[in-house]
Amino acid sequence: MPQGLTLWLVILVAGVGTFVLRLSFIVLLEKIKEPEAMRRSLKYVPPAVMAALVASSILVNDNQLFVSLDNHRLTAALIAGLVGWRTKSLLWTILTGLIALFALTSL
């Protein structure tokens, strides 16, 4: 079998496998009545995942934990967090974080 055809076959099988796996959860969860406590707790999954992604990109550098004021990403995140806490505005939080990070890395 030619190498290009093998690659496309692997991509196709992986795609179908992923689709079937995800579809199985949709079909099964449709038939199973989950407990109310689980349903309430699931709303916290997206913010928890986002916090984990953001925290790892801020605190980890070259596979090392980097918690210091020399960490410009951490300092910019703290500034943005303060602005977000005070203004409750996502737009101002993001803009402040971007401007702070740009200013700190430019110094």
Going 26 to 32 to 36 to 41, the CA torsion angle's sign is negative
Any idea where the domains of the chain sit in the sequence? 1-32, 42-106
Percent of the chain at pLDDT above 70? 99
Give 88 or 33, the one with higher predicted confidence. Answer: 88
Structure tokens at 51: 């916090």
Is pTM beyond 0.85 here? no
Residue 64 CA to residue 68 CA, distance in Å, equals 12
Going 8 to 9 to 13 to 16, the CA torsion angle's sign is positive
